[in-house]
Amino acid sequence: MVENRYADSGPEFSHDPHLYRHLCWRIRDRGAVGETLMHLCLLNATSLHADLAKRLLRFYPRMINDIYMSDEYYGENVLHIAIVNEDPSMVRFLLDANVNIHERCFGNFMCPEDQKFSRSDSLDHEWVNVCQETNYEGYVYWGEYPLTFSACLGQEESFRLILARGADPDAQDSNGNTVLHLLVIKEKSVPDSVLEEIAVDTFVNGLKEREVQKALRLARSKVLDEAFAIALELERASQTSRSHRVRTIEESDEHNDEPLEEMSRRVVHNEMPKRRKP
């Protein structure tokens, strides 16, 4: 079931190598959504399956970079799954085994909800085309890359491990979002040291100022939305009602020269009414 022939030569491959992908597990022998045995081991996430996955890689090391082939999960590799499993020890093992840290997972399942019906394939590149108008809302919109997955899921240890292996924090997903943007969109707080690492890489790599401005704009938009909601709450205020015996007001009227409105206010606020001097 393992494909060992690699067509990495010839005029077609030499002309457009980016249009080809090395596969270890034969497509016809994969599961319903294009998964391999390696993917299933990581999905089950038990110690027994973890040992089996490591043993598989000893005999078939190229399996580590096989991806899901169906449109629903296209591009997801074992590193993505290990991050979702919150398993930094497996993440470290996969990194030591030379897993592809730049793999993009842009299947339909990982897409913002309002973009799922605008997806279209292209003959010029592997990733999909999507409508750029989106609110970024989606259960698993985590930015496609392993680095952004770990950032969105709050996996600090995995994030540091992947970043230390050379992952690009400026890499953009199909929506043009980087790690910095995803942290704002998902409203994730990160330690200052992690933020400094991202910022240093961002400016050392000459990240376009517009990308930083976009992150600030996203943050400002979220702050304004929260402020508007608070303002509405304050404007509406809280309204409560209480019941009081009418006789209480009547009894107060017998001993008071105060207007009825003033007496009512005092009763409501549990204030003692002013007694008429004898």
Give the Å distances, CA to CA, from 69 to 60, 76, 172: 19, 8, 22
**168-210: pLDDT as tens digits:** 888 888 888 888 888 888 777 666 566 666 655 554 444 444 5
pTM over 0.85: no
Strand, helix or coil for residue 230: helix
Q: Which of 27-31, 69-73, 92-96, 184-188 has the lowest mean pLDDT?
A: 184-188
- Domains recognised in the chain with CATH numbers: 11-207 (1.25.40.20)
Tokens of 96: 């030591």
Give the Å distances, CA to CA, from 3 to 8, 22, 41, 60, 63: 13, 10, 19, 10, 10
pLDDT of residue 49 exceeding 50, the answer is: yes
pLDDT of residue 33 exceeding 80, the answer is: yes
